[in-house]
Structure 1
Amino acid sequence: MIDFRYHIVSLISVFLALAVGIVLGAGPLRDYIADELTGQVELLREEKEALRAELDVAEVNLQRRSEFISASAPALLGGVLEDRSVAVVELPGANPEVTEAVMTRLEQSDATVTARVAVNERWADPTERAFRSGIAQSLVGYLNPAPAADASTETILGQALGQALTLRDPANLEARSAEAENLYELLISSELITEVGAPTAPAYATVVIAPELVEEPADEAAVTELAEANVVYTGLAVDLAGAGEASVLAGGDAFQGDLVRAVRADEAAASVVTTVDGVGTITGQVTVPLAVAATTGGAPASYGFAEGVTAVIPEPTTLTPPDPATFAPGPVDAPAGSDDTGDTEPTDDATDGEG
């Protein structure tokens, strides 16, 4: 047991220290302490003002750089995608203002934006799997070429969207094929996608705008949900890359949950999907048309300012005129694994309700 005298000594020490502090603070050290504190406060204020001034200068310089890039964009992009048509696909959570900014840069590159569609949340909603499976069965008969016999529901849906935006009519290469129109209508009626800008012609390429992530998910359940959605949308990006001449996924790469980062981390996906990060900035937006051209004339790559990218910006690419006949289907293939000869008519049962 602690001796009572120990407590007495401790209390005396505390009060003695307080007394000394009071005496010194009110006595000969008072002015010194006050001056010292005043000087430190003044120094901190000056440092804060200096940092604010530096920040203001940095913001002005950044704004001027953005204005310079914007003013230079028409000269930089002009003719890059001449004779090319592009369909724009927005994923759930994409920023519409970013999409419109990217479309402006596509138009400055002399590309024709032929369609703009938004993928709805039910595309990746785990509670809608049975419904999507039923829709996939209805889509298979219109796919040309038909999917592999073991193709998953997600693959069938992804190929359907890609073909809906790119397939051409063999009798009129400037028009969409009947299969493309049927696929598109089924995807619309099933509410898997929403039409933002109706298709005016088949596209040679697609640009996919990724969800905008402003912070990491706050809890484990949200992290898991985002990761599962990214798996589905990575598959969609791969399927779109298999339709037309090129496909570019544009988004952010600042957070672990960003789709662009997920695609880049997937070796198989990264080998077929071109990615552009920083699409929320004018630099990323201007890069998108250049990436479409580079992919059309070369190979998939990653562009932007994130660690490990292929390059900040693609090398200039001169494209030869496209051959529209390449994207005009022949006779409809029978669904893979079917004994049908191509006369199979898709059923509409799956559109009557959620499986």
Structure 2
Amino acid sequence: MIRHRSYAVPVTAVLLALATGVALGAGPLTDTRSDASPQPRIVTRAPANGYPDTFAASVAGRLYDHGLSRRPVALVTMPGADAATVSALVTQVKAAGGQLTGTYAIQGQLVDPEQKSLVDTLGIQLDKQLKHGTEPGASTYPRIGQLVAIAVANRGAAAGAADDDVVAVRQSLAAAKLLTVPAGHPQTAPLVLVLLGSPLDQAIADGVLAGLGAGARGVVAVAPTKDATLAGLEADGVTKGVTTVDGSETDAGRVAAVLGLVRAWSTRGGAFGASGADGPVPLG
């Protein structure tokens, strides 16, 4: 939760003005000659191209205000996720005080429409082995999303132990080459940050993200600006339980994603970022 709202909102407004190139007209940035000059000279000082991102990175610490202090976060990547963005997001999570429990990679087979039979069969068989399985009646992709949630997340307020169900799901998904799991069976996390990559079948993305959201305290999905899959999550109502943020290729978008994690601790859902219907930054 961002306590210094009186500071954060003006800073966000300035950042957005700079990012969208709003002209700072008449005032101290407009320079004219004397009244006697026949042709007044107007000088407009535009910000440097990289200034909005530099500005966002500079003020990130104050905006976070340690909002993730001691809060565990799991990072899940979709196929095609940018490695540099993964590293930058990890840095921002730590800057907000978050504790990264592990990075998990969803593999191509899990989201490949041609592998639906494999995903469905494995999900049904695995669900029968668990003490606490998925929601009754869940279809293929919401079910596999809930199973991924068992592997990486929990609905509580602290990191969770890797119990028998967690270990069983991790081993099964890894053996089927659907999910890459960190070594050592790390604890599960209440908060999950999902980085999208290559375009996905929208129904598959909807199911997996909705299922993951059902098994975590808070989930934030982040993608590049105007990402079609991310926009589809909003259009299909997935953002009722999962927060989305676009603009992951920019520092401003990454800062917004981490602010989304801070917010997700107490408030689920919403569409934010450069194209978000609920505003550019998830504050409060």
Q: Is the 8 A contact 2:159 2:189 kept in 1?
A: no
Matches within 5 A, 1:1-355: 61-143=48-130, 145-167=132-154, 174-195=160-181, 199-211=185-197, 226=200, 229-254=201-226, 258-267=228-237, 269-306=238-275, 309-316=277-284
Q: Is the 8 A contact 2:221 2:242 kept in 1?
A: yes
CA deviation string 1:313-344 (max 9, x = no partner): 1224xxxxxxxxxxxxxxxxxxxxxxxxxxxx
- Assess, with a 3 A threshold, how the Cα gap between structure 1 residues 142 and 64 changes in structure 2: closer, same or farther: same
Query: What residue is the counterpart of 1:18 in the other structure?
Result: none
CA deviation string 1:235-259 (max 9, x = no partner): 111111111210011013425xx21
Alpha-carbon separation, structure 2, partners of 1:191 and 1:203: 22
Alpha-carbon separation, structure 1, partners of 2:141 and 2:260: 26
Partner secondary structure for residue 103 of structure 2: strand
Equivalent position amino acid for 1:71 in 2 = S
Equivalent position amino acid for 2:105 in 1 = A
Partner secondary structure for residue 176 of structure 1: coil
Number of positions where the alignment pairs a residue of Structure 1 with one of Structure 2: 240
Equivalent position amino acid for 2:231 in 1 = R
Alpha-carbon separation, structure 1, partners of 2:208 and 2:271: 17
Alpha-carbon separation, structure 1, partners of 2:152 and 2:132: 14
Displacement after TM superposition at 1:144 (Å)? 5.0
Alpha-carbon separation, structure 1, partners of 2:230 and 2:185: 26
Q: Is the 8 A contact 1:115 1:199 kept in 2?
A: no
Partner secondary structure for residue 62 of structure 1: coil
Displacement after TM superposition at 1:167 (Å)? 4.5
Displacement after TM superposition at 1:61 (Å)? 1.5
Q: Is the 8 A contact 2:155 2:190 kept in 1?
A: no
Displacement after TM superposition at 1:186 (Å)? 0.8
**Identity of paired residues, percent?**
22
Equivalent position amino acid for 1:264 in 2 = E
Displacement after TM superposition at 1:129 (Å)? 2.2
Displacement after TM superposition at 1:199 (Å)? 4.7
CA deviation string 1:253-292 (max 9, x = no partner): 425xx2111101112x121111001111101101112111
Q: Is the 8 A contact 2:226 2:274 kept in 1?
A: no
Partner secondary structure for residue 181 of structure 2: strand
Q: Is the 8 A contact 1:119 1:194 kept in 2?
A: yes
CA deviation string 1:201-232 (max 9, x = no partner): 2101111101156xxxxxxxxxxxx5xx2210
Unaligned runs of 5+ in 1: 1-53, 214-225, 317-355
Alpha-carbon separation, structure 1, partners of 2:49 and 2:139: 46
Displacement after TM superposition at 1:70 (Å)? 1.5
When Rg is computed on C-alpha atoms for both structures, the one with the higher figure is 1
Partner secondary structure for residue 289 of structure 1: helix
- Assess, with a 3 A threshold, how the Cα gap between structure 1 residues 210 and 82 changes in structure 2: closer, same or farther: same
Partner secondary structure for residue 89 of structure 1: strand
Displacement after TM superposition at 1:87 (Å)? 0.7
Equivalent position amino acid for 1:193 in 2 = L
CA-atom RMSD in angstroms: 2.5
TM-score by length of 1: 0.62
Q: Is the 8 A contact 1:106 1:289 kept in 2?
A: yes
Q: Is the 8 A contact 1:304 1:313 kept in 2?
A: yes
The structure whose residues are more often helix, as a share, is 1
Displacement after TM superposition at 1:101 (Å)? 0.9
Q: Is the 8 A contact 1:168 1:177 kept in 2?
A: no
Alpha-carbon separation, structure 2, partners of 1:103 and 1:313: 19
TM-score by length of 2: 0.76
CA deviation string 1:110-137 (max 9, x = no partner): 1111111111111122222222222113
Alpha-carbon separation, structure 1, partners of 2:70 and 2:259: 15
Equivalent position amino acid for 1:284 in 2 = G
